[in-house]
Structures are given as structure tokens and as C-alpha cells.
Amino acid sequence: MKLYHITNNRATAVAIKDIPVVEYVDLYNDLKERMSDVRYHVGHYFAVEIEEGLKFYMILLDDETSEVLVTSFIPDYYAEGLASLTAVHPQFHPFEREINELYGVPFDSHPWLKPLRFSHDRRDKSSTMDSYPFYSIEGEELHEVNVGPIHAGIIEPGAFRFICDGEQVLHLEIALGYQHRGVEGEMVRNQNRLRQTLIAESIAGDTAVGHATAYAEVVEKLAGKQASEALNIERMVAIELERIAMHLADTGALATDIGFQLYQVACEALRTVTINTSQAWCGNRFGKSVIRPCGSNHPLTAEKIAMIRKNIADVRRRYNEVREDILEAQSLLARFDQCGLVPKSEMVRIGGVGQAARASGLLRDLRATHPWGYYANVKHNPILKHECDVMSRLATRMDEVLQSADYIEQALAKYTPDGAIPAPDYEAPLAAEALSFSLVEGWRGEICHVALTDAEGNIAKYKIKDPSVHNWLGLAIAVRSEGISDFPINNKSFNLSYCGHDL
Amino acid sequence: MVAVALSITGVINRTRALLAGRKGIRFFQHIYNVGLQLRKGAVYSTTTTALFRIAPAVYLGATMLAFLFIPVADLEPVLSFHGDIILVAYLLALSRVAIVLAALDTGSSFEGMGAAREALYGALVEPALMMGLATLALFCGYSSFADIFSMAQELNMNLSVVLFLVAYVFVIIMIIEGGRVPVDDPKTHLELTMIHEVMCLDYSGVDMAFIHIAGWLKNSIFAVIAANAIAVAVSFHWWFAAPLAILITGVSVGVVESLRARNKLSRNITFILTIVAMSALVLLTGFLLIQNIEI
């Protein structure tokens, strides 16, 4: 029996009738085996309301063959209940928690079906943030420290509950949902695609380009319009610029948190150059307005290309000096080395993605495994580190900055704009009754957008997954048995998104 | 001495700005800020008691009293009697107790952690302080600051190396007590890593100003003792010691804060114990030298 429809990240949208509707028992038995292999991980898993009840869709990624496996099932869950996949493979936990929160679907033997983000359309309105079921341990010598949801700095809201033995953290639980805005609902409520693009850019402010690219890809696949090579090159430059800017910011932020002024100011200065380059290109420092479906409002000109190449070469040279100094700074290494370990085995279990996974030796990089756009032409060689600590996550960032700068230089060196990039098209008709997904490696990791269209070709369901959804648990694991005062540097070394998680 | 107290923070800020390649804030910005706070009222948490309100006054009062016993080279201190070095040490301890109790009084888990850290480091650094003072007392056979430093100028120059080391010990004590890098980071906004700052999180307005002023006074006490120790060896005049006090502490703290990261919290204990060991060594060396000279 066919369990999956096999496609890939460059194919067009899948007609819903081509996606097999399987029995949950068969799927469960298959996944139990299949997901034990590290080459597979879950891209998305969600439920949609249909007449008969709920229809579940699941998207699996095969990192070895670049295949994407899509499947669906319509269970009679009131009769049978659904056996929990989280119990076998913890990487399913955010998805099962979300489905449970939204529709009240019971998952048998799920370790703890806690609410994920308290969305406005949750089923149980009596479950509120104030009644979040924090884990607690009884003990005379233990104490609980609650941080947030309002923080002293300028970061977003999120509640962190530590259980500590003196200065040592035994357990950290992270409760999110304070940033919930109902983005997924908003994407469907209004079919104006310019408006949808703007919303996509605001899913997570620090990943504006990443999420906008994911949205544009989804729409283009539905419209059956493939972006031209020139457009793909420009999109790659934009997303790599964003990666450089954010990795620079995080290097600086890590230096700030250990009170190391020198590297803090050096990185802040370099980040300013980078985001000002974005501004000179498109008028927005965070790259908003660069990515538009089926075209661009800001095609590169020869002058802009020269400006980007000059600035990025400068940033690369100066950052490399900072990088070499950092690798020799003893007081910094004393803080970062062997701090906040997330072993590869744990990263695999929780389904970690992106730069944090690569710092634990787990190869999760869509640019290499599921290339989209121009990445099919770039033989991307992901940077892997095996130390699994804060320093490892910093070192991954530092190397990726240099690598991204090289990609921008290589792409732009042989690129001559011919003025053939069209203006954005917000009206192109979309395929009806289809499922379209996009997988984009943002600076933080794997971004997955999924759209389902109805019989008229309108977007009927839009699901978004920010890499933070996977990686927040990684942070909780990293700080176990560390000193509580080392939490901030661990937090910065992941730098996860609150609003990307809360949507 | 008041000028020393007021200028150290300014010099630290200047040095940091210079090393960061920035223009930096005004030299007297910190004084202006405190002036602003003094004119404001205070907001109190509903969970606190009278203890919380009294603490800043005790903190400032105790520090101020200790401040009065310290001479600047040949300038006489305001107050002085035999054995006042012990009193100074305990006045500083009293001020610490006040602020620690106030932090516990808020019932906040951050402040509890901060109080625990401050109490631990305070207890650890005290031997260093006492032995540093003991070394000075040993050289002159007196136990009041005024006598020590007025007698000290007749000392044999062989002791000057020891005196420089005493100065070093006091500069480090100032870094620990003042909550500067590498022990603590006054610029951080991260409650979980703070030591001194976290205990003052619930204070505002005039109380906060008291705590800031007391902090300056405390820093200047250690800075001036360090400068006096050097002045004894070099040139015993207030116009030499006072600028020296500002410069050695201000510049060294500014440079250290720019050029290195702060310690892992658990390493701080090692750091402080090293200073204690060093002051013990200084005391011993000083003792041996004295014996030699007298024999």
C-alpha cells in the first residue's frame, strides 16, 4: 500500500487528490521504524477541519535523497484515539501539542500534552497562560526561579521557570504564547497577496527575508510560475545578507552577555554596515520589500551590485579579524567552552534544525539537502561542528558568515542584470485543490510554509513553521546542570524567536 | 577625598568609551543622574517591610562613617582613634548586611540569588581586607588609619615592594566590592547573572541615589587606601595620592572591562581566594622584612 506521495522542494504544488489518505495505524507503524533513521525528520504535521471531521497532513523530509514525503489521514479519533508519536519520537511534540490544543484530539500515551501557544482559536478557552501547568519538583533544598514573561532587556516576552539546586539548574521549562497574533488565520482571512506578503515578512522580524521567501515560493508553486535564475540569485543574496547580519548581531550579543565590550562594539559596527547595505538596496534595513511573489520591486542594478560586493568584502575581512581574535581570547573561551552541551543524540531526538543542530554535529541544512532556487547551482557545503557547546554554536555562526559572504561574492561576480526581472504579480491564478509547501533555510534554520487551496483557488489553510518551534527544547536541554548565571549565554547562542513560535 | 569619590566613575566611563572608539557620555553624567534621582520620590513594592526602606539609609550612613576615617596621604581624616581600622572593616560589613537583608525582604527570587552571592563574596573577601590592613598596621605598629599613614613615611624603602603589592590587593578588593568586571558586570541587564545590581532592582528614586552614592564612597575608600600605600613609598602628599587614587582605579577598571570577559560565576570564588592568598603572602613578607630590620 502506498503511504506517501513523493515530491521534492523544487516541484510544483501537489494536487490534494494525489496525496494518499492512509490508515493511521499503518502510518504509525511505518513512522515508528522510519523516523529512527536520522536521515528523516518531520517538516510539518497539522490538521485541517473538513466535513467529516479532521484531516491530518504530514510532511516528512528525507535528507539523503532530497525527497519530500507527503501523506494524509482521516482518523475516527473519538473511537480509537490516536497513539502518540511523541512517545516514540519526541520530535513530534510541538505538532501533537498544537493539534491537541486546537482541536482537542487526544493522543494516547503522550508524555504531557501541554498547550503550545494559547492561540485565540484554541478549543479549551479555560486553559489560559495563567494556569500553565509548570513542572515542579518538591524538595527542601530546591528553589524555583521564574524569569519573565516581561524581561529587563528589549527581548520578547516568554516565561522561563527554572528549578535550581543553589546555582545549578536542574530543569528549565519554557512557556510561550505571549506573542500570539493569529498570523495563520490572517493569511487566510484576506486573499490580497500583497497583504499576505507583508504579513509573511512580519512573522518574525529578524527573519523577514526568510519567511517572505518561503511565502513567495509557496505562491509561485501554486501559480505554476518558476522564478527566473536572475530572480533566484537576488533572493539568495538577500537571504545570505540577512544571515550575515543576524550572525554578526549574535556574535556581538554573546560578547555583551559576558561583559566583553571590545567584540561587542566591533560586531555592532559590522552589523550596521551589513544592514545598511540592505537599506541601500531596498530601503529597508531588515530586507523587507526585497522578496515579492513572481517578481521584484527592487531588481539589482550594476551600481547596487558593486556596492554590495564592496561592503560585503569589507565586512568579511574585518569580521575575519574579529573571528581570529575571538578564537584566541582566553577569558571568552573560558565562558563558552564546555558550556550548554546538547549532544548530537539529543538533537536528533528533539528534531533540532538549522545552525544549532549543525553545531551539535547534526547535518540539517536545507541549502544542501533540499535546495530551492539558486541553491541547486551552489554546491553548498554545510558547516558542521561537533563540540555541541556554546562555543560550537558561536563558531558555526562565525564560519557561516564567511561562507555566506563568499556565496554572495561568487553569485554577484558573474551576475549581470539584464532588466528582465518582472514586477511582482499578486493576481496570478492559483491551482485549485492543491497543497503547496516551501522549505527555506533561514539564518536560524528550517522554515516551512504550507498552503492548501480550495476549489476556487483561494488559500484555505496556511500553516507556518519557524525553526524555533523545534529548537526551544534544545535550549531547555542545554542549560540542565549548568549554572543559572550561564543561562543568558546559552539563550543567546540559540537566539530563538518568540513571535516565530507563537505566530 | 570627595573629589576622588565623585571622579572614579567618570574616569571608568571615559576609559571604556575611549577603548571602544566611542565619544562617550559626559564626565559628570553619573552625578547628574544621581542628582535627578535625588529629586524623585521612591516607589515601594507591596511585599516589602520597613526593613527595605531603612536599608539604603543604613547602607549610606555606614559607608559615609567609614569614609570619614580615611586620610588622603598627609591630609588628616575627619575622625580617628586607636583601632579604627577594625571599625572601618565592620562598618563596611554592616552596610553589606543592610543591603543583603533588604534584598531578601523583597521576596524576589533574583534578589535572593544576588544576596546569596553578595554574602558569599563578602565573606570571602573580608580576610583579604583584614590582612591588607594588618600589613599596614604591622609596619607602623599603629591601628588607626591616621597614625599608620603619618608614621609610614619614616619607613625603610625596602618595604616599598610590599606596599605596592598592598596597593594591588586593594585595587582588586575595590573591583570585587564595587561589582566590576571580571567579578560582576554593572552594565548587564541580565538579572540571572547580576550580583550587586540585582539587589537594588526594587529600589528607585532617592533610595537608588543613596545606593549609588554609597557605592562611590566605598570605591573611593579602597582607591585611597591603595593610593596611600603607593604614596608612602613614592611621595607622601595629598596632591599626589588623590589623583593617583582616581587614575589607578579608574583606568585599571576601565581597561579590564573593555579587554576581557567576566568570569564564570563559579570561578569568582577562585578569583577572590587568590586575592586572599596574595594578601596573606603580603602580610607574611611584610612580617619577615620587619623582623629582619629590627634584628
Q: Which residue does chain A place closest to B184, by CA atoms?
A: A259
Amino acid B268: pLDDT: 87
- In this structure, the number of other CB atoms found within 10 A of the CB of residue A456 comes to 11
Please count the CA atoms within 13 angstroms of the CA of B10 that sit on its side-chain side: 15
pLDDT > 60? residue A294:
yes
User: What homologous superfamily does CATH list for A183-501?
Assistant: Cytochrome-c3 Hydrogenase, chain B (1.10.645.10)
Our CA-based measurement puts residue B63 at a distance from the nearest CA of chain A, in whole angstroms, of: 28
Q: How far apart are CA A485 and CA B194, in angstroms?
A: 8
Please count the CA atoms within 13 angstroms of the CA of A302 that sit on its side-chain side: 2
**Are B118 and B93 within 8 A, CB to CB?**
no
Q: How far apart are CA B149 and CA B282, in angstroms?
A: 18
pLDDT (tens digit, 9 = 90+) per residue, A350-403?
A: 989 999 999 999 999 999 999 988 888 888 889 999 988 999 999 999 999 999
**Partner-chain contact B259 A262, CB within 8 Å:** yes
Q: Does B191 touch chain A (CB under 8 A)?
A: yes
Amino acid at position A65, single letter: T
Our CA-based measurement puts residue B41 at a distance from the nearest CA of chain A, in whole angstroms, of: 22
Q: Which residue does chain B place closest to A160, by CA atoms?
A: B192
Q: Does A160 touch chain B (CB under 8 A)?
A: no
Task: Provide, as residue numbers in chain B, all residues whose Cβ is less than 8 Å from the Cβ of A259.
Answer: 181-182, 185, 187-188, 257, 261-262
Q: Does B261 touch chain A (CB under 8 A)?
A: yes
Q: Which residue does chain A place closest to B198, by CA atoms?
A: A152
* Class in CATH terms, A5-119: alpha beta
pLDDT (tens digit, 9 = 90+) per residue, A443-494?
A: 999 999 999 998 888 899 999 999 999 999 999 999 998 888 888 889 889 9
List the grid coordinates of A64: 539523503
Select the residue of B21, B191, B261 nearest A335 (Cβ to Cβ).
Answer: B261
Q: Does A153 touch chain B (CB under 8 A)?
A: yes
Task: Provide, as residue numbers in chain B, all residues whose Cβ is less than 8 Å from the Cβ of A483.
Answer: 264-266
Work out the mean pLDDT of chain A and round it to a whole number.
Answer: 89
**Partner-chain contact A483 B189, CB within 8 Å:** no
Helices A193-201, A208-223: axis angle to 10 degrees equals 150
pLDDT (tens digit, 9 = 90+) per residue, B223-268?
A: 888 888 888 777 778 788 888 888 888 888 888 888 888 888 888 8
Q: What contacts B294, CB < 8 A, 6 or more positions away?
A: none
pLDDT > 90? residue A125:
no
Our CA-based measurement puts residue B54 at a distance from the nearest CA of chain A, in whole angstroms, of: 26
Q: How far apart are CA A219 and CA A477, in angstroms?
A: 37
Q: Does B143 touch chain A (CB under 8 A)?
A: no
Where is B123: in which H helix or E strand?
helix B109-140
Q: Which residue does chain B place closest to A257, by CA atoms?
A: B188
Q: How far apart are CA B286 and CA B160, in angstroms?
A: 10
Task: Provide, as residue numbers in chain B, all residues whose Cβ is less than 8 Å from the Cβ of A332.
Answer: 261
Amino acid A307: pLDDT: 92
Q: What angle do CA B119, B121, B127 make, to 5 degrees?
A: 105
Helices B145-152, B84-105: axis angle to 10 degrees equals 130
Q: How far apart are CA A303 and CA A311, in angstroms?
A: 12
Q: How far apart are CA B131 and CA A37, in angstroms?
A: 64
Q: What contacts A93, CB < 8 A, 6 or more positions away?
A: A86, A111, A350, A473
**What are the residue ranges in chain B where pLDDT is below 70?**
151-158, 293-295
Q: Which residue has the higher pLDDT, A239 or B178?
A: A239
Domain spans, chain B: 2-290
**DSSP structural state of residue A485:** G
Q: Which residue does chain A place closest to B15, by CA atoms?
A: A261
Amino acid A200: pLDDT: 92
Task: Provide, as residue numbers in chain A, all residues whose Cβ is less than 8 Å from the Cβ of B188.
Answer: 257, 259
Task: Provide, as residue numbers in chain A, all residues whose Cβ is less than 8 Å from the Cβ of B110.
Answer: 145
Handedness of CA B258, B260, B265, B271 (dihedral sign): negative
Q: How far apart are CA B150 and CA B228, in angstroms?
A: 10
Amino acid B156: pLDDT: 63
Nearest by Cα to B184 from B100, B254, B261: B261
Our CA-based measurement puts residue B195 at a distance from the nearest CA of chain A, in whole angstroms, of: 10
Q: How far apart are CA A327 and CA A321, in angstroms?
A: 10
Q: What angle do CA A237, A241, A244 make, to 5 degrees?
A: 140
**Partner-chain contact A329 B266, CB within 8 Å:** no
List the grid coordinates of A412: 554577484
pLDDT (tens digit, 9 = 90+) per residue, A21-52?
A: 888 888 888 989 888 889 999 999 999 988 88
Q: What is the CA radius of gyration of chain A?
A: 22
**Are B193 and B179 within 8 A, CB to CB?**
no
Our CA-based measurement puts residue A468 at a distance from the nearest CA of chain B, in whole angstroms, of: 22
Entry field: residues in chain B: 295
What percent of chain A clears pLDDT 90, i.e. is strictly above it? Answer: 41
Amino acid A453: pLDDT: 92
Our CA-based measurement puts residue A463 at a distance from the nearest CA of chain B, in whole angstroms, of: 34
Domain spans, chain A: 5-119, 183-501
**Partner-chain contact B109 A146, CB within 8 Å:** yes
Residues in A 280-339 with any Cβ partner in B closer than 8 A: 329, 331-332, 334-335, 339
Amino acid A122: pLDDT: 84
Say whether the peptide bond before residue A429 is cis (omega within 30 degrees of 0).
no
Select the residue of B187, B259, B264 nearest A334 (Cβ to Cβ).
Answer: B264
Q: Which residue has the higher pLDDT, A419 or A6?
A: A6
Residue with cell 552571592: B117
Please count the CA atoms within 13 angstroms of the CA of A112 that sit on its side-chain side: 7
Amino acid A437: pLDDT: 92
- In this structure, the number of other CB atoms found within 10 A of the CB of residue A416 comes to 9
Q: Does A250 touch chain B (CB under 8 A)?
A: no
Amino acid B157: pLDDT: 64
**Partner-chain contact A143 B22, CB within 8 Å:** no
Q: How far apart are CA B176 and CA A444, in angstroms?
A: 38
Q: Which residue does chain B place closest to A485, by CA atoms?
A: B193
Q: Which residue has the higher pLDDT, A284 or A52?
A: A284
Task: Provide, as residue numbers in chain A, all residues whose Cβ is less than 8 Å from the Cβ of B16.
Answer: 261
Chains A & B: contacts with CB separation below 8 Å: 79
Q: Does B33 touch chain A (CB under 8 A)?
A: no
Amino acid A209: pLDDT: 93
List the grid coordinates of A16: 490534494
Q: Which residue does chain A place closest to B180, by CA atoms?
A: A259
Select the residue of B259, B260, B264 nearest A486 (Cβ to Cβ).
Answer: B264
Select the residue of A143, A146, A260 nearest B260 (Cβ to Cβ).
Answer: A260
Q: What angle do CA B75, B80, B84 make, to 5 degrees?
A: 120
**Are A214 and A440 within 8 A, CB to CB?**
yes
pLDDT (tens digit, 9 = 90+) per residue, A199-238?
A: 999 999 899 999 999 999 999 999 988 888 888 999 999 9
Amino acid A401: pLDDT: 93
Give the residue-averaged pLDDT of A260-278.
90
**Partner-chain contact B113 A260, CB within 8 Å:** no
**DSSP structural state of residue A285:** T
**Partner-chain contact B185 A484, CB within 8 Å:** no
**Partner-chain contact B19 A262, CB within 8 Å:** yes
Our CA-based measurement puts residue B249 at a distance from the nearest CA of chain A, in whole angstroms, of: 18
